[in-house]
Amino acid sequence: MNKLILTLFSIMASITSYAQSNEELSAKIIAMEKTALELWNNGNPSGYLDISAKDVVYFDPFIEQRLDGLDKLTALYESIRGKVYVDKYEMTNPFVQSVKDMAVLTFNLNSYVGTTVQKWNCTEVYRLESDGTWKIIQTHWSLTKPELNIKFVE
C-alpha cells in the first residue's frame, strides 16, 4: 500500500512539475527562438541546429520536398553558413499553443537587409525531451504572399 501511495505522489509531483503555466512556457520558447534567429541573422546556423531534434522535419521555400532528419538539415545549413546576414528583424505576434510536452510557436517575421524587407510565415513545433530540454521537431518557413515578396522599404 505504501508503494501505491508513493507511486501516486510521484505521479502527482511529476504532473505538478510539468504544469508550467502556458505563459512561462511561451516566454521560454519565444526566447529560444529569438536566440537562434539572432545567430542565424549573423550567418550562424548553429543556434537552430543545437536546438533541433534528431527527427526534425523541415520546409522552406527553396527545397523540392520536406527534408527529414537533423543530418540533412545540418548539411543544408552548413552549406549556407556565413552567407545569410539580416540587419534588423521584427517578430510579429508570436503565439504559443501547448500541451505538457509539446508547444507550437507561430509568428510572422520581417527581415530587413539594406533597403529591402522580406516577409515570412513561420511555424516551429518544440517537444519536451526526456532530458528535460525542449527541441524543435518541425520547422516550416514560407514567404508571406510570395508573388509580392521582396518589398523595398519606404
CB of 21 to its own copies, least distance (A): 16
Nearest by Cα to 106 from 140, 131, 130 = 140
- Which residues of the shown chain bind its own copies in the complex (CB under 8 A)? 1, 4-5, 7-8, 11, 55, 57, 59, 61-66, 68, 92-93, 95, 97, 99-102, 104, 106-108, 121, 123, 125, 127, 137-138, 140, 142-147
DSSP labels, 9-59: HHHHHHHHHH---HHHHHHHHHHHHHHHHHHHTBT-THHHHHTEEEEEEEE
Bridge partners for 34 per DSSP: none
Q: What's the rounded Cα separation, in Å, for the pair 120 and 109?
A: 5
Q: Which is nearer to its own copies, 39 or 113 (CB)?
A: 113
Q: Which is nearer to its own copies, 34 or 151 (CB)?
A: 151
CB of 11 to its own copies, least distance (A): 6
Count of other CB atoms within 10 angstroms of residue 107: 20
Q: Which is nearer to its own copies, 39 or 67 (CB)?
A: 67
CB of 46 to its own copies, least distance (A): 23
CB of 42 to its own copies, least distance (A): 26
CB of 137 to its own copies, least distance (A): 5
Q: Which is nearer to its own copies, 54 or 82 (CB)?
A: 54
Residue 39's φ and ψ, nearest 5 degrees, are -65, -45
Q: Which is nearer to its own copies, 49 or 119 (CB)?
A: 119
Q: Is the CA virtual torsion 13, 30, 149, 85 positive or negative?
A: negative
